Every structure is written in C-alpha cells, then in structure tokens.
Amino acid sequence: MKIYKKTADLQKELQLLKKEGKTIGLVPTMGALHSGHLSLVNKCVAENDICVVSVFVNPTQFNNQNDLEKYPRTLDNDVKLLESVNCSIVFAPTVDQIYPEPDTRVFDFGQLDKVMEGKFRPGHFNGVAQVVSRLFDIVKPNRAYFGEKDFQQLAIIREMVKKYSIPVEIVGCPIVREADGMALSSRNMRLSANERGKAVLISQTLLKSCNFVPEKSVSELKQWVIDQINSEPILEVEYFDIVDGNTMQSINSWDDTDYPVGCITVYCGEEVRLIDNIKYLKK
C-alpha cells in the first residue's frame, strides 16, 4: 500500500496505472475509520483494480468551527486498517493540496440541499460538493463509493455527477450497524459510555417505527418518533422528516411516494450530533 500526501505525486502514479488499463475506485473519507468505512473499501477493492482511499477532514463543509476542531483525526490507525483490507493507495493531503486557491464555487442543487441537513447546516453541502468534485478531478476514478448513512449527501453527489457531467459511477453502500443496531459513525468516538448506551434509542426507535406504516399517518409517525427519542433527557431531536428518497422533499401521505425514507438528526449530550435513516416498506 502506498501513501501520498501531494496531489502531483498521486496523479503521476495514477496516470501510470491508467496507462496499464487499470480501473480506479475511490472511497472519500474524513478518516477516523470504522467498519462502515471498511465495508466501502471492501466493495471498492472487489470491483476495481486499484482502490484509492482519501483521508481528509474538509474544512469547507463545517459550519461549526468547534465541530471541525474536535473531529477525530487518527491517521496512523486509519492506515493500519486500510492495509488490513488490501487498499492500494491512501491519499492524505493537507488543505493546501486540495485547495491551492480558495474554492469560491457555489453549486446549485435546486431543492435537494435546502432541507434537513442543508437547512440546519447552511453551506454544508456546498462544501461537500467542493471537496468531492476536487477529489474526482484529482483521482479521476471509474467508480466512487459512499455510505447510505449520509443519505441526503449521497443524493446530492449523484445529482452533482449528473448535472456537471462528471464521468464517474456513484456506488451507494448500505448502513453498517453495531450489534445493538447503532449506526457506525466516526462521531461515536466522542460519546461517553453513558451517552453511547442512551444513543442506541435512536436506531431502536427508527426500527420500531416501521411497524406503524401505514397504520399511523405520516405526521403521527413523525411525532411518535420525536417523542420517543426526546423522552430520554440526554437526547434531543434536531429534526426528523419522512421524505421521498429521490427528491428529499417531505411527504404528507404514504401515497405521495413509493420510496419513503425517515431521516433523523439527534444531539446526544451538548455537542455530539448523530444522524441515521430508515427506509420504510409500505405493506
């Protein structure tokens, strides 16, 4: 496994590999890797000749400076994990390698980025689009792999690729959960043992909510989920919405879409912000 910190060095290596006819897969990450990330890497390794994993905490997608500063950075451990799953190349650039000049691009995703995460984290998805498009430009992968835990982000990246005619196949991969159902996240590292024990209520509640579709109305189910989670004093729902899984727009009735998805963000304690989602099957 090779590790590159400079864009020019990585590109030189990739150009040689492409001349040999090798296919390139990319897994963009912000590091602090866990089994969820490794599931993406495993799929990338299986489907491409070369697997490139980027490890870069992107400053432009944080609208909270404190969150950026506290985001876990564990590069040495990340490298060991990636070596264990046959990753070919790690790209661990500094900010000036990704953004040699300030990135002032503004992307237009219509209504996709105006709701949920986009509403509560202004500018977040523009920052995501900046860094992902830069990585696509640097690596020029055949395929790129993203987890469905960041459900809205995946929809926006698909839209970006389509709208700006970027020649890369986007592969979405299922959420990986711990044994008790908690969605794996780098932010889980910041939870105390007590917080971690309480946070599982998020995934438990989402799973239970599936039993009430379509008996409860959309609005009733939304309120039920919020009330269940907020009943635990350490948890506070920032938003829970049930949306069309393609457009990310709220639905009012189960008849509004064939692809209803419940998307949630919850604060655990004062600082740790956890996201999850669940796909509803209409009986």
Query: Crossing angle for the helix pair 124-139 and 7-19, nearest 10 degrees?
Result: 50
| Interatomic CA distance for residues 127 and 123, integer angstroms | 6
* Residue tagged active-site, from 37, 134, 143, 187: 37
Please report, to the nearest 10 degrees, the dihedral formed by the alpha carbons of residues 95, 100, 104, 105 taken in order.
Answer: -90
Count the helix, strand and coil residues of the chain and give each as a percent rounded to the nearest 5: 45, 20, 35
| Interatomic CA distance for residues 52 and 138, integer angstroms | 11
CA neighbor of 139 nearest in space, from 8, 1, 29, 2: 8
CA distances, 93 to each of 11, 100, 172 (Å): 12, 11, 24
124 in catalytic set: no
Q: Tell me which amino acid residue 66 is.
A: N
Q: CA angle 267-77-265, nearest 5°?
A: 15
Give catalytic residues, as residue numbers: 37
